[in-house]
Each structure stands twice: as structure tokens, then as C-alpha cells.
Structure 1
Amino acid sequence: MLNRVSSFLSRPAGSAWVALAGLPMLVLIAAMLLPLFAGTSQFAAAQFGSAGQTPSDDKAEVAEKPTSTLFPETIKNTTALTPDGTLYIDSKNKALFVRAHVVFTAGLLEMLCCPVQTKEHESILSTPCPPRMVHAGLLALGAETGKPAQFGETFQPPTGEDLTITLLWKDEDGELQSQAAREWIRTATRRYFTAKLPQLPEGLKLPEEEKLRYDSVRNELLHYGVVTPELREKFLKLTNDPAFHNAVKELEKTSQPSTMDADWVFVGSSFQEDPDSNTPRYLADGGDFICVANFPAATIDVAVRSSASDSERGYEAFTENIPETGTPVLIKIQRTTDLAKGGETPKDR
């Protein structure tokens, strides 16, 4: 394990750090992570990306408090892997804890979490911890990297170690809450849904004020957004045509949102030489940390086809399940195989 972490860290950090033989494993890992952290922004600086949603003054003040103050019981038996307390490792329970905060609660998504000041306009969470640090921490847990999604004649989903991601936060009463990360994400509803319809019933004119359209080229009935029971009944009253009724019912069925059920995998991003500094750059540090849309630079991605195109976005924020903007969150990341070995049934696979 130590060799794998050392090999990864040697690329961006060089070999300037000294040999630390004889120290405990986690101390060795933490020591190796420090040079990798050098040059990154401190935790209290630039907490909220300008593109995200603005938190209240109270929430912004809370978010600046150190992790050890906000989540003392959760991290009391962990080892800090960053000097600013944004990444911790629990060797006994084989888990990483990444400090983050809520920046986006409604709209289409590309990310569950992004680095600060990158993709806050399409990511529920933002973290001051560089993704390359989390990559090194996952290697320390024994996780194996995979390959990014391949688009072509045949789609190949991203591969890598299957990960379980859980989110922890404090409610308004100060009680610690925990929920599978996928519960904060649902299938996208802000798009057009379609149902086959050979032709519109003769003489039927669709109401202009509604988001119901007919495509005579593709012979499809379309509706933008969720078809509620009220809308269904309104549309069914437009005509007695059975084919039209079936299409409306199909639109209602397919437009209902559901919690994301895709697995997350440790893709591992990649390094690319920075033309300005001539040093390796970890690509996910540019924004693609924990993704819900497929990106070749992702550290962690969903193991299904999920487009980043605005017209084809697969997921959106599950607003009703997400605490308000500015809420501090700990992202708990574990290898799913470790949970299975421990006899647990993962909440999030």
C-alpha cells in the first residue's frame, strides 16, 4: 500500500521528502501527502465559489469553523491527512472523510462535489480539499483505480473500485444526520419526455399554455417536466382517442423522478503536463471530483452512461433532501468490499 501511495505522490510532488522508515503507516502517508498539499488554498479562504448559491451569513460563519469543532465525535479516532483538516482517514473502519459544504440545492447536475471555485453552479457540494489528496487517501485504503467512460460506437462505462459514499451533517438542533449520497440526487425532470403517438387525433389542438407538444416528424408526444396527476387528467379530457390517452399515461410514468441508483467507482483521473510550469497536473483538481456525469478527468464517476450535455443531463439535485446552502458536510468514502467484509449492508452501492 505504501509503495502505491508513494508512486502516485512522486509524480506531482517530486522526491524531495525524506525517508521516514520506522514510523507508523498512517504517519508515513500523512507525511507524503503534505508536499502534495503545498500551494493549495487554505481552508478558510475562498470557501464558496462565486457560481454557487449564496449562503446566509450564519451558515457562512459556521462553515468556516474547523472540522474538529463541527464533527468532533466523527473524527476523534481518525488521522488528519491535510494540515488544514479537510481530509481524514479512519484506518480501523477503512474510511476517508472529506470536508465540504452545500453550495447548490436545485437544478441539473454534473457533480456531487467539486473543488472550490470550479463547478459550484452544477455541484451540490464544494470542498477545499484537492481531489488529488483524496486519490492518495483512497490508494492508502487499498482502492484500485479504473478507466474513464469511453464514448464511441459502443459506450463503455467507467470502471474502478466500487465505492460507498455517505454524507454527514448537523441539523438545526445540532443532531448528527447521515444519508446515502445518492439520496441527494434524482433523475432529471427539467427536460422533455417523449411517448410514441402515430398522429394527433383529428381536430385536436394542444393548449399553448401547457408544455405539451407534438413532433410530426418523429411521431412523438412531448412534455417538458413532470406530468402530475392533475396534468394527466387535464390532458386526457382533451380527447377520447385511446392512442393519445396511452401516450399521456406513458409521459406521466416516465417523467416521475427517482433516486439515483448508479454505483460510484474510483476512476482515478490522470496527470497532464502543465505547459506553463512543465510539471504534472492532476486533471480532476480542475473540477471533476465526484461526478454524476461522465468526464474523462473524473476522480470518482458513476458507472453508467450519463451525459454532460445540457439537453441530455441525467440527474438533478433532490432539493427536498438537501440541507440549506452553506451547511457543512463530511463526505464519507469507503470501499464497498470493505463494508461487505465487515458484515454491513451498504446504504449506498
Structure 2
Amino acid sequence: MKILAQQAASPSIVSLLLMFGVCSLAAAADERPAERPPAPPQAVSLSIEPSPTAKPLNPERTVWLDVANKKVVLSGYLCLREGLLEMLVCKQQTKEHESIIAIDADAYVIHAALIALGAKPGTPVRFQPEFTPPTGQKIDIFVSWTDDYGRPHRYAAQQLIRKATQRYFTAVIDPLPKELKIDNRGDLRYDPNTKELIWFGRMTEEQKLDLLTRSLNKEYRKAIESFFTSS
């Protein structure tokens, strides 16, 4: 599976909000290294400040418990934009090659925070003697960050996952709006034979906004929005 962290610019610091709701949570074992690894190049700090009712649970101040609002806030950094996905979050300097976000915190601290909110401990997936899916309290996981332009972003964690992005996306538009001039040497192309508007690869938010300014045609704008969402 391919993953892609959808970014507007180049944010490296992100916050995760864990709230009761949708995703399955399984209790994670705490695997501590013999020696504490050195700090990563990026400074680990909150990009979205927690509410005044939140309290830090570790010296690194990367895990915050907000009992009043029933949520846990994790402060980490983006470690993988595209690649094979194994997990959403890992402890720093462990599984960054297959995780979207890394955090300077032990699993037991996050686990304790969720237990403090009333979450029920779960069990990991089992394959023997037969397949048994993971169990645990259902929660919502949101990822928040501020981009280089100071704009805040907040996405459900599953929105950061894409099965495939390096492919063509198409939409039939007939006729092509007269005011729309398309250079077929770029990422956006038009095939007059099949009457298809074509886009290749991932579309950034800036690209989407730029393309939407080129025409008010409803079918064209619908196609651009679809390309952006699908990629």
C-alpha cells in the first residue's frame, strides 16, 4: 500500500488528536531501547497548541491529556511522505521508514492517557490458531498542522493514506470550455479524440486552486475537484 501525507507546503511538525469515535485501537507493547537515542534533526514541538485544560504527561511534552474535552494530543513530526505503510505513528528512530509520523514518546504513556479517558484495553491481531482481528476501544484520530503560510489544517488520519497516486485520472468533458487553454506538455491535458480531461499524479492544493481559477465551467471544476480528492 502506498501512503501520501497530503501537504499544502512543507510542514514537518504535526499534532495528533485521539478522541472517542471511529478507528480501532489495540494496546501496544512498550519496547524501550537499552539507551535513549539522540534527538532527531527536527525540533519536536506542538504546531497546534493544546487547550488550557490539557496537561503534559511526559518530560518531552509530546503527550498531553485533556480530560475535560476527552482527548489525547500527541506532538510529533512528519517522517514519511510517500512509501510503503506499516503504521501511522512510531517512536522516533525506530520505524520511520514505514510510518507517516514519528513521536518522542513511549507507547505506555499514550496507552495510559487513553486508559485515563476510559478507553478499554484491546488485543493485537492474531493469526494462530486462526485469524482474529484486533480489538479495542474505538477512537477518532485527527492530524493537525500549520503550513508555511500560517494556515491551520486538520484531517482525519485515514485521509493521509492513498492506495496509488502515480497514475492517470480522467474525466469526460465535451465540449471543452472555450476559455480554457490547455498545454498538453503539462500535467493537465485534454484528449480531443476521447473528450477526456487528463491529470497525472498527485495534485497539490495550490495546483487545484490555480486550475479552478481558469474556468467557471461546472463540469471542468467538478473534474478538478475529483482529481484532487482522488490523488
TM-score, with structure 1 as normaliser: 0.37
Matched position secondary structure for 2:112: helix
Matched position secondary structure for 2:84: coil
CA contact (8 A) 1:184 1:321 kept: no
> Residue 135 of structure 2 aligns with which residue?
159
Structure with the higher fraction of residues in strand conformation = 2
1:89 and 2:82 correspond: no
CA 1:168/1:319 → structure 2, altered by over 3 Å: closer, same or farther? farther
CA distance in 1, matches of 2:203, 2:129: 38
* Aligned-pair CA distance for 1:84: 2.0
> Residue 46 of structure 1 aligns with which residue?
39
CA distance in 1, matches of 2:63, 2:56: 6
* Aligned-pair CA distance for 1:40: 7.9
Q: Percent identity?
A: 32
Please tell me the residue identity of whatever aligns with 1:125.
I
Give the greater-gyration-radius structure (CA): 1
CA 1:143/1:106 → structure 2, altered by over 3 Å: closer, same or farther? same
Structure with the higher fraction of residues in helix conformation = 1
- Name structure 2 gaps, 5 residues minimum: 1-31, 172-200, 206-231
Please tell me the residue identity of whatever aligns with 1:46.
A
Q: How does 1:1-349 map to 2 (within 5 A)?
A: 41=36, 45-47=38-40, 60=42, 63-64=43-44, 66-67=45-46, 70-72=47-49, 74-152=50-128, 154-187=130-163, 189=164
Please tell me the residue identity of whatever aligns with 1:85.
R
CA contact (8 A) 1:183 1:321 kept: no
* Aligned-pair CA distance for 1:108: 1.1
* Aligned-pair CA distance for 1:138: 0.8
Q: Deviations over 1:296-331 (max 9, x none)?
A: xxxxxxxxxxxxxxxxxxxxxx97689xxxxxxxxx
- Name structure 1 gaps, 5 residues minimum: 1-36, 49-59, 191-224, 231-317, 323-349
* Aligned-pair CA distance for 1:41: 4.6
Q: Deviations over 1:68-106 (max 9, x none)?
A: xx433x343211111221111111111001111001001
Q: Deviations over 1:118-162 (max 9, x none)?
A: 010111100001111101111101111122112247422111111
Matched position secondary structure for 1:177: strand
Q: Which moved more, 1:86-95 or 1:170-179?
A: 170-179
Two-structure CA RMSD over aligned residues (Å) = 3.2
TM-score, with structure 2 as normaliser: 0.54
* Aligned-pair CA distance for 1:47: 2.2
CA contact (8 A) 1:114 1:126 kept: yes
Please tell me the residue identity of whatever aligns with 1:136.
A
Aligned length: 144
CA distance in 1, matches of 2:64, 2:130: 39
Please tell me the residue identity of whatever aligns with 1:162.
K
